Chains A and B, each alone.
Chain A
Amino acid sequence: MAKKKKPDNNEPQTLGVLAQYSGADELVAAARKLTDQGYKKVEAFSPFPIHGIDEALKAPAPLLPWVVLGAGLTGLFVALGMQYYMNAAPENAELFGYYSPYQFKISGKPFFSLPANIPVTFELIILFSSLTAFFGMLVFNKLPTLSNPLFRSERFRKATDNGFFLYVDAKDPKFAVNSATSALSNAGAEAVETIEQEATGHTLPGMIHWVGALSTAAALLPPLWMAAAATRPSATPRYSIFWDMDYQDKFKPQTQSTLFADGRSARPHVPGTIGRGGMRDDTRMYLGIEPDAEVAGSRLRTEALLASYNAQPDAPPADGAEEDTADASAEGEESASDEAATPAAAATPPVDPNAPPEPNWVTLPPMPVTEAMMDRGQQRFNIYCAACHGRGGFGDGLIAQRALQLQQPTWVPPTNVHTEYVTKQPIGKIFNTISNGIRKMPGYKEQISVEDRWAISLYVQALQREQTAKEADVPTETLQQLRRQK
C-alpha cells in the first residue's frame, strides 16, 4: 500500500488503522511511541482534552494564530486605507480621479487624522481577526465534514464516552497496514482495526462537473460586464427611470453653485429685507399681547427687531430669529409660574409672589369675530384639543380617560377649561397657552396657523361662556328650535 492509488469506488481501499487504548495516560504513551517511530499522520481521539497529547503527537504548531495575525494586520491597513480614501486630504484628492472621496470638514479637524480613525481601525482589526479565527478554525479542522469514515467503526462510538483512540492515516509516508497495526499493538492497544473506504461501485457522473463549471462561469459574466461598463466611456446618457426625480431644478443644502460669486447655493439673507411671512411685528396678532413699553413686542423691541433685519449677513442675529426671540421672552414669563405649578397642582396653580407681572393680554381677538371663525374654531378644537381636553373642554378626552384607566404615574391630567382659574383668563393668555403650551401641554404654533389659533381661543371662550349661560342669552329663534327638538 505504499504506492498511492487513484481513488476508485469500485475497489475497497484502506484509509488508516484505528487502535483503542484503556486510558488517557496509555493514549499519551502510545502516541509518543508512534511518533518516535517516525509516524507523522497520527491523530488521537478522547472524550476530554488531555494534557501533553499535543507534545506526544508532535503536532506541528498550529498555523491559525499567524493567519489571525495576518487578518488583524489586514484589518489595520484596510481600515486606515478606507478612511484615507473616504476623506483624504485635498492635496491627494485627484489621486482618485472619478472616484473622488467625501471631503467633509468635521469639527475643524484635519481631513485625515489618526485619533479619529483609531476607533474604526480598532473595530475592523477585531472584526477581521475574530471572523478569521472562527472560519479559520472550521477550515483547519476540515469542518463541516458531513461524514467521516471512522464513524463506520462500531468501536469508535465510544470516543465521546470512555474510549481513547489513536488513528494512523494511510497518507503517512511510513504507512503500511501490517507495520502500523503491529506498532499500535506494541504500544499497548486493546484492539486494532483497519478503516476501509466503502466500495459503493458508484461514481459521480462527469456531466455534473461540466454543469457546475459552466454555471460558475456564467455567474461571473454580469459582474465582469459591470466592471467593463464602469470603466468605458459611453456616449449615451445614463438610463434613468424617473428622470425628473433624479434631476431636479434645485440646490441641495450645503452644495456649491457657480451662479453666485461666493459659490454657495444657500443664500444669506439680503440686508434690509424680510422673507415673506417673516414680518411678525403685530404683537396682538402673534403674541396676544397689547403693545406697551414693558414687554416683548413693545415699540423699542420692535425697533430692535427691525434693526436686526438690516444687519450684515455675518452679524450674529441672523434671519429667522424674530419669532424665536419674541417667543422666548413670552415663554420666559410663563416658565416661572410653570415651574411653581407642579403637576399635582395643575388645576389651581399657586400664585408665585416673585413671578413677573402678567403681560398685558389682549381681551378681544385681533380680527373681526364672525360665525365662520367660530365654526372654524370648533372644528379645529375638535381636531387638535378634544383628544385630551374632551369636546366640552372638561379635561375628559379619550386619551385622558385611557391614561386614568392605565393609572399612568407620570400622567398629568389635562386642565378643565371651565375651572375658575381658566375662565378668568383673557383671550390673549389662552392664545398664548395654545401657541406655546403650558406645563406638560406642548405648544401648537408649529402645527396650527395663527388665525386658527385665534379661532380656537374664541371657541374655548364660547365653551366657557356656555356653562354660565341663561335662557335669556339664547336668541329666541334658536331657543324655539331647541325646544322643538326636545
Chain B
Amino acid sequence: MSATATHSTVPEIRAAAPSLAATALGPMGLGVVLLVIAAAAGIGGGQVSRFWHAYLLGVSFITALSIGALFFVIAHHLAGGRWATVIRRLAELMASAIPYCAALFIPIAAHILMTDSGALYPWNDPTIVAGNELLEHKSGYLSDGFFVIRMAIYFGVYTLLAKYFFGQSVAQDTSDPLARAKMMGARSGPAMILFALATNFAAFDWLMSLEPTWFSSIFGVYFFAGSVVAYVSFMILMLNFLQGRGVLTQSVTADHYHDKGKMLFGFIFFSGYIAFSQYMLIWYAAIPEETQWYAIRQFGPWVNFSWFLLFGHLLIPFLGTMSRTVRRNKKLIGFWALWMLVMSAANLFYVIMPQADGVEVGNMMKHPLPLPWLEALCVVGALLVFIGALVRNAAGKNLLPIHDPRLPISLHHHVT
C-alpha cells in the first residue's frame, strides 16, 4: 500500500454496504422460521423435553461463538496484540451479535418463569425438588426468578463489553485513534475479569444445572475452551468466505491464517486437556454424586458418542492442524475449521442432549427420522440468526480498524 493511497483508491479499505442491514433480515428470518418449525415439530410431536434441550443447544452454540469472539477482542487489547488487528473488527462483529443471542434466550426464560415444567431444567419442577434434600438446599440459588435475573446479568455484562469495544473501535475510524487504543487497552483488564466471572457462572447455570445434583468446578473453563474453539473455527471460515468474495484479500495473509491455525490447534488441545482434567478427577474419586454425569455418557447408547468426540474433537484435529503447511493453506485450515465448528456443536450436543428425557442416540437410530434432525434444525436455525446478526452489525462499517495504530504492524505480520 503506497503512502499516497487514499481510502477511495484502495479497494481493501472499504466499508460494508449499508444496504446489508436489510439483506440480513433474510437469513435471520429464515433462522427464526426454522426454530419455529423445530418447536412445532418437537412440542407437537410430543418431544417437549427433547425440543427444549435442542433449542438450548442451538442458542448456546451461537452464544459460544459470540463469547469466544468477545474473549479474543478483550485478550487482544489486554496483551497489546498486534498481529490480529486486521481481523479484530470481524471478531468485534461476532461479539456484538450477543444481544441477538440474548433475544433467543428469552423463550427459555419465559419457559422457566411461566411454567413449573422440568422439561429443560429439572430444578424448575417443584415435585422433583420436593423430597430431594440436595435440590432443596440448592433451591435458593436454582430458583426461576433468580435464574432469570442472573441470565439478565450475564447478557448485560456481555452486551456492555461487546458494545463498548465495538463502539470505541468504530469511533476510532474517525477520531482519536491513539487515545482510544490506549483507553481500550486500559479497560481490557477489568473487562476480562467481568468476562471470566460471567462466563464461569453462565456455564454453571445454562449447562451444568441441566443435571442439578451434579457439580464440577472446572465446568466454566470447559465451556469457555469449547467456545474459543468454535469462535476460531468460525473466524477462519468467515475469512475464507470473505476472501472468496474478494474482500480483505490483501490484508489477511497466509501468516494470519497461520496464527489463527495455531490458536485453533492450541485451543483444541486446551479444551481436551480441560475435559480430561474434569474427567480424570471424577473417574478417580468415583463418588456417585460426581460420576452420575459421566455414567449416562459412558455406559449405554452414549458411549459411542463419547468415543466419537474424543477422536473427532481432540485426537484427529490435533494431528490434522499440527502441520505448518496446513495452517498456512487457507483451504486446508478452512477444512479443519469446518470440522471443528461441527465438532463444537457436537461437543455441546454431548453436554446437553443426554440430559433430555427420552433422548438416546441408540433410540434415535430406531426413530423414523434416523438423524438428530431436531437438534440440527435448531443449530442451523440459530446459526442463521447469528449470521444475520453479523451481517446487520457489519452494515456500513469498515471491515478493518483503519486508523488503529497497530494496523500497519498487523499488515506486515510475518510468522518467522
Q: Which residues of A contact B (CB under 8 A)?
A: 49, 51, 65, 107-109, 115-116, 118-119
Contact = CB atoms under 8 A, between A and B. Distances in A.
Nearest to A69: B322
Nearest to B285: A107
B284 A118 contact: no
B286 A116 contact: no
A123 to B, nearest CB: 12
B145 to A, nearest CB: 38
B339 interface: no
A276 to B, nearest CB: 40
B351 to A, nearest CB: 19
Nearest to B283: A115
A397 B283 CA distance: 52
A104 to B, nearest CB: 15
A49 B286 CA distance: 54
B414 A118 contact: no
A116 B276 contact: no
A291 B414 CA distance: 87
18 contacts: A49-B416, A51-B414, A51-B416, A65-B324, A107-B284, A107-B286, A108-B286, A109-B284, A115-B276, A115-B279, A115-B280, A115-B283, A115-B284, A116-B280, A116-B284, A118-B276, A118-B280, A119-B280
Contacts of A116: 280, 284
Contacts of A115: 276, 279-280, 283-284
B410 to A, nearest CB: 15
Contacts of A118: 276, 280
A355 B275 CA distance: 49
Interface string B398-416: 0000000000000000101
Contacts of B414: 51
Interface string B229-245: 00000000000000000
Contacts of A109: 284
Interface in B87-122: none
Contacts of A65: 324
Interface in B110-151: none
Contacts of B324: 65
Nearest to A107: B284
Nearest to B280: A115
A65 to B, nearest CB: 8
A107 B283 CA distance: 11
Nearest to B416: A49
A360 to B, nearest CB: 40
B138 to A, nearest CB: 29
B43 to A, nearest CB: 40
Contacts of B276: 115, 118
Interface string B250-278: 00000000000000000000000000100
A65 B319 CA distance: 13
B185 to A, nearest CB: 28
A107 B276 CA distance: 19
B368 to A, nearest CB: 38
A438 to B, nearest CB: 35
Q: Which 10 A-B pairs have the closest CB atoms?
A: A51-B414, A115-B283, A115-B280, A49-B416, A118-B276, A107-B284, A115-B279, A118-B280, A116-B284, A51-B416
Given A65-B324, A109-B284, A118-B276, 8 more contacts: A51-B414, A107-B284, A107-B286, A115-B279, A115-B280, A115-B284, A118-B280, A119-B280
A245 to B, nearest CB: 38
Contacts of B280: 115-116, 118-119
Nearest to B282: A115
A44 to B, nearest CB: 15
A118 B278 CA distance: 13
A115 B279 CA distance: 8
Contacts of B284: 107, 109, 115-116
Interface string B276-309: 1001100110100000000000000000000000
Nearest to A119: B280
Contacts of A51: 414, 416
A37 B280 CA distance: 59
A351 to B, nearest CB: 35
Contacts of A108: 286
Contacts of A107: 284, 286
A297 B6 CA distance: 97
Nearest to A108: B286
A63 to B, nearest CB: 14
A391 to B, nearest CB: 52
Contacts of B283: 115
Contacts of B279: 115
A65 B284 CA distance: 35
B266 to A, nearest CB: 14
Nearest to B412: A51
A54 B414 CA distance: 13
A102 B276 CA distance: 26
A167 B150 CA distance: 67
Nearest to A65: B324
Interface in B378-416: 414, 416
Nearest to A106: B284
B314 to A, nearest CB: 12
A107 B284 CA distance: 8
A86 to B, nearest CB: 18
Contacts of A49: 416
Nearest to A52: B414
A90 B416 CA distance: 52
Nearest to B323: A65
Contacts of A119: 280
A118 B283 CA distance: 13
A120 to B, nearest CB: 12
Contacts of B286: 107-108
B309 to A, nearest CB: 15
Nearest to A109: B284
B46 to A, nearest CB: 39
A469 B284 CA distance: 66
A51 B414 CA distance: 8
A119 B279 CA distance: 12
